[in-house]
């Protein structure tokens, strides 16, 4: 009889405890949902972190490195000769094409030689006449020497003949020099290449009148050329040290845009 009330009391306590546990679980669920909602809201507001960029990697090795230096430069001929006329006259022949290779002594231009040929002939005749008069004066001086030895002429007359012979001999030499100059001018009517090389275009063409010292064309040498460039001081000193130490320095020359 006494056990029944205790059983009812235990059941009541058990139900009360269950209600407390259910309420606690419900409260914890609400708190968790609230925290989850806050976390979602915070995660939506936070900026996205960028992905790490891709990088490449290589194995570090030790090996000899060939040091090179490039410069822009220009090629220049060692010999550049301007061909000028030494006499005036009309050009009667042009014996080359622009860009052609010529040899030393090749005739490039011909200037009308007729006036110079006539002058050469005239001075030749003048020189011959002057030489003949000088030769005659020398023979007369030799005869005067014999007459003077025989006391047949006076010393004054001999001195006059001696002076006359010397004057005629000087005139003959002057005439010979004029003839040589005339022959030289005649030779200048044939304008030749002074060196082997490549000739440029004709600055004065066939049929035109040229003055003495006028530029007719130019010739550049081909066998050897200069490669000129402007380098920095550090490179110059480095290369100088190597050459002084007997170490070879390799030099390569190429054209702009050249491959291989």
Residue 178 has what pLDDT? 98
Flag whether pLDDT at 7 surpasses 70: no
Residue 47 has what pLDDT? 65
Residues facing 225 on adjacent strands? 77
Residue range 8-20, pLDDT digits in tens: 444 445 455 545 4
Flag whether pLDDT at 224 surpasses 50: yes
In a domain, 184, yes or no: yes
Residue range 171-213, pLDDT digits in tens: 999 999 999 999 999 999 999 999 999 999 999 999 999 999 9
In a domain, 154, yes or no: yes
In a domain, 23, yes or no: no
In a domain, 86, yes or no: yes
Flag whether pLDDT at 42 surpasses 90: no
Among 21-30, 41-50, 57-66, 235-244, name the most confident range: 235-244
> Taking residues 148-154, what's their average pLDDT?
90
Q: How far apart, in Å, are the Cα atoms of 181 and each of 56, 91, 124, 144?
A: 84, 21, 10, 35
In a domain, 176, yes or no: yes
| C-alpha 122, offset from chain centre | 50
> Taking residues 218-240, what's their average pLDDT?
88
Flag whether pLDDT at 163 surpasses 60: yes
Domain membership of residue 181 as a residue range: 78-222
* Count of the separate structural domains present in the chain: 1
Query: In CATH, what number is assigned to the domain containing residue 91?
Result: 2.40.50.100
Record the pTM: 0.64
Q: Cα-flanking dihedrals φ and ψ of residue 92, to 5°?
A: -105, -10
In a domain, 70, yes or no: no
Residue range 49-101, pLDDT digits in tens: 778 788 888 888 888 877 788 888 888 889 999 999 999 999 999 999 999 99
Residues facing 80 on adjacent strands? 220
In a domain, 26, yes or no: no
In a domain, 242, yes or no: no
Mean pLDDT check: name the lowest of 27-31, 66-70, 127-131, 162-166: 27-31
Residue 68 has what pLDDT? 82
Q: How far apart, in Å, are the Cα atoms of 223 and each of 74, 100, 202, 226?
A: 16, 15, 23, 11
What average pLDDT does the structure give for the chain?
Answer: 84
């Amino acid at each position: 009889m006494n056990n029944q009330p205790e059983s009812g009391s235990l059941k009541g306590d058990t139900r009360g405890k269950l209600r407390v546990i259910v309420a606690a679980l419900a409260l914890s669920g609400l708190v968790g949902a609230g925290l989850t909602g806050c976390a979602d809201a915070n995660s939506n507001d936070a900026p996205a972190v960028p992905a790490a960029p891709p990088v490449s990697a290589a194995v570090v090795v030790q090996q000899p490195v060939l040091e090179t230096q490039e410069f822009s430069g220009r090629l220049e001929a060692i010999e550049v000769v301007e061909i000028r006329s030494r006499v005036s006259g009309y050009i009667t022949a042009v014996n080359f094409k622009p860009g052609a290779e010529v040899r030393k002594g090749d005739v490039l231009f011909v200037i009308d030689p007729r006036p110079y040929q006539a002058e050469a002939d005239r001075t030749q005749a003048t020189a011959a006449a002057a030489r003949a008069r000088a030769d005659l004066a020398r023979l007369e001086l030799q005869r005067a020497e014999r007459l003077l030895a025989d006391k047949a002429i006076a010393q004054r007359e001999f001195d006059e003949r001696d002076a006359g012979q010397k004057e005629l001999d000087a005139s003959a030499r002057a005439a010979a020099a004029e003839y040589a100059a005339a022959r030289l001018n005649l030779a200048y009517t044939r304008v030749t290449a002074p060196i082997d090389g490549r000739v440029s275009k004709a600055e004065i063409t066939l049929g035109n009148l040229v003055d003495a010292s006028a530029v007719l064309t130019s010739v550049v040498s081909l066998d050897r050329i200069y490669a000129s460039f402007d380098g920095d001081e550090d490179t110059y000193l480095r290369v100088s040290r190597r050459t002084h130490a007997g170490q070879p320095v390799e030099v390569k020359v190429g054209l702009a845009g050249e491959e291989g």
